[in-house]
């Protein structure tokens, strides 16, 4: 594996380090609650990240067919685009998860993507010819993956604060 690709994968993987801090002591009643009509719930942020990461690594980089990576409630197509998610109530299958279950599934799906990432033999400048118009190189996709996880971790903290929770670590 090219050293820059390895470093970018590890940077993305490191973004999951804070999962226990981000989700620690979330009140169960707030897990699936939207703080406002135009804001996602904590569980929806987790599902969106899971869907996006699987899409980036399994679909767009590894070229896997949908049935190989859409293996969970959290990788359903509805979780691909937040504006579309907000057009509907929180998905009923998602609301069946409690905090330990959703955390476990989120990390399980990440580990699956991480294993797929470990098989990448492309260089950082490898160009893709697919539906992503602005993000053509492997370097771009790996950077986006890391930023995306960090962005949504921050969003989860914000949702918690909006719902009246105290998060001493943030």
Residue-wise pLDDT tens digits, 114-159 = 999 999 888 888 887 766 677 788 888 898 899 999 999 999 999 9
Give residue 61's pLDDT: 87
Pick the CATH number of 3-162 from 1.20.120.450, 3.40.50.300, 1.10.1240.10, 1.10.10.10: 1.20.120.450
Structure pTM? Answer: 0.92
Both tokens of 33, joined, read 């609650």
SS (H, E, C) 123-156: CCCCECCCCCCCCCEHHHHHHHHHHHHHHHHHHH
In three-state secondary structure terms, 30 is helix
Binning pLDDT at 50, 70 and 90, where does residue 16 land? confident
User: Residue 105, Cβ neighbours under 10 Å: how many?
Assistant: 19
Give residue 4's pLDDT: 92
Interacting residues of 91 by C-beta distance below 8 A, sequence separation 6+: 44, 47, 73, 76, 78, 79
């Amino acid at each position: 594996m090219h050293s820059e690709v390895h470093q970018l994968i590890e940077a993305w993987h490191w973004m999951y380090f804070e999962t226990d801090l981000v989700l620690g002591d979330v009140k169960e009643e707030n897990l699936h609650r939207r703080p406002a009509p135009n804001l996602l719930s904590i569980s929806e942020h987790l599902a969106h990240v899971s869907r996006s990461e699987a899409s980036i690594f399994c679909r767009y980089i590894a070229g896997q067919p949908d049935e190989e990576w859409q293996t969970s409630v959290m990788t359903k197509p509805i979780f691909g685009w937040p504006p579309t998610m907000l057009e509907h109530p929180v998905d009923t299958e998602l609301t069946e998860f409690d905090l330990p279950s959703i955390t476990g599934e989120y990390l399980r799906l990440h580990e699956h993507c991480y294993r797929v990432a470990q098989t990448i033999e492309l260089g950082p400048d490898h160009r893709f010819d697919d539906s992503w118009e602005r993000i053509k190189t492997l370097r771009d996709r790996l950077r986006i993956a890391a930023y995306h996880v960090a962005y949504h971790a921050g969003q989860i903290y914000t949702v918690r604060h909006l719902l009246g929770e105290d998060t001493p670590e943030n």
